[in-house]
Amino acid sequence: MRPVSDGDPTGLPANGEEAKNWLRRYGPLGPDLPQPLVVTGAEGAWVEGADGRRYLDFSCGASAPLGYNHPEVARIIARTPHLPACDGIEWPATVALMHKLAELVPGGMNRRVLLVDSGREALAKAIALAQTATGKCRVQYLSELKDDSPRLDTDTAALVCHPLDPRLEPARRACTDRHILLIDDETGIGPGATGKAFAVELSGVRPDLYVLGRGWAAGLPFGACVTGSSNLRWNKAGAGGSVTSCAAAIELVRLLVGGLLDRAAGLEADMKKRLESLCRSSLEGSITGRGLVWTIVFPPESVPAQGFAERCREAGLLLRRLAGDVLGIRPPLTVERQEIDAAVGILGRVMAEFERGRS
């Protein structure tokens, strides 16, 4: 497993305990920081903790879709010169990525691409563009609306949607009727994880704006906003998207169309079968997902997702808690079938422990 730092680690914590102490002293959460996992090496879907243990990371798919230390991305980074993004300067790599993303979005290439440095910044730019284009200010989020056919206010400029929300079709119609822009926030899914480059493609809905996060640059600082039409445009170019991040993103797109999209789609049936077999117990929760993006929703008062995730970590599996009773399973696109088997085995053992604790 490749180490996080090669050579003389001057300035780095001497060991895992010192790193944890520094996090509690200087980190943003202070002494309230939950037990952190300090990593000293990583490869593929695996990370190695400072305690010497190896962990299978099924939480990284959205931000590190190629896993850790992918050889092609490492090669791209090593040979890319230091050319930061600056106002008024466009590097060939940034322009090439704009072309790639415009080409990848369904519906032709007649669109605009804005590069920034994070998914949150991309969402903010998409919202600002919607407000400018509509002359309205309010922003609504589909996840906060309870009706099957969402009711939108006339003063709404944008409706922000999760790409796997089952209400996307009525949301699209409502936005069209009320001259509201539909924003597809892909930052929590990651590229290609559903077997499609953009998860929203599964619905057949075409949003007005696509928001992409750092997963599109294999985990490097990156964000992008892509319009569904060239009629939408910003009044100022962005100053985001370093050459290194853009080069990594171009390589990721090449790998996606070169086979990773088909691979994610092909693993869907295996993931579904294995995960559904886990929930045939008194703890049974609902399992939903596509490709390599899966979610377990535990029934109320059965299993706290955070406690379940912590126990899985103790057993060697990293998962992502999405909400109080919702657990996300997000392996990288490069995950192997035997790694899926190993993860499901840990999930099954932990679920059995919780079930015994309730009996």
Position 214, amino acid = R
79 phi/psi in degrees, rounded to 5: -100, 0
Cβ atoms of 339 and 57 within 8 Å: the answer is: no
pLDDT at 87 over 80: no
Render pLDDT for 92-117 as a digit per residue (tens, 0 to 9). 889 999 999 999 998 877 889 999 99
- Alpha-carbon dihedral angle through residues 127, 129, 131, 133, given to the nearest 10 degrees: -150
pLDDT at 10 over 70: no
Long-range Cβ pairs for the range 283-290 (8 Å, 24+): 283/351, 283/354, 283/355, 283/358, 285/325, 288/164, 289/329, 290/164, 290/194, 290/195, 290/199, 290/202
Contacts of 29 (CB under 8 A, 6+ apart): none
d(CA 184, CA 225): 10
pLDDT at 247 over 80: yes
User: For residue 244, what is the enclosing H or E element?
Assistant: helix 243-255
- Average pLDDT score over residue span 12-31: 82
pTM, entire model: 0.90
Which of 262, 261, 243 shows the shortest CA–CA distance to 253? 261
3-state secondary structure of 237: coil
pLDDT at 282 over 50: no
Q: Which residue has the tokens 């919202």?
A: 127
Task: Tell me what pLDDT residue 7 has.
Answer: 47
Task: Tell me what pLDDT residue 4 has.
Answer: 56
Position 327, amino acid = L
Quote the tokens at residue 356. 């015994």
- Average pLDDT score over residue span 294-299: 86
166 phi/psi in degrees, rounded to 5: -70, -5
d(CA 353, CA 154): 51
- Average pLDDT score over residue span 258-268: 95
DSSP string, 59-121: S-TTT-TT-BS-HHHHHHHHHS------TT---HHHHHHHHHHHHHSSS-S---EEEESSHHH
Q: How many CA atoms lie within 13 A of 307 on its CB side?
A: 10
DSSP state letter for 2: -
**Highest-pLDDT range among 9-13, 156-160, 275-279, 298-302:** 156-160
Render pLDDT for 48-78 as a digit per residue (tens, 0 to 9). 998 889 999 999 999 999 999 999 999 999 9
For the chain, give the mean pLDDT.
89
pLDDT at 291 over 50: yes
Q: How many CA atoms lie within 13 A of 131 on its CB side?
A: 10
Render pLDDT for 308-334 as a digit per residue (tens, 0 to 9). 899 999 999 999 888 778 889 999 999
Cβ atoms of 200 and 186 within 8 Å: the answer is: yes
CA dist list (Å): 244 to 95, 152, 217, 255 = 13, 41, 9, 17
Render pLDDT for 112-145 as a digit per residue (tens, 0 to 9). 999 999 999 999 999 999 999 999 999 999 999 9
What is the set of domains in the chain, with CATH numbers?
1-36 (no CATH), 44-69+261-358 (3.90.1150.10), 74-256 (3.40.640.10)
Cβ atoms of 62 and 215 within 8 Å: the answer is: yes
Cβ atoms of 180 and 152 within 8 Å: the answer is: yes
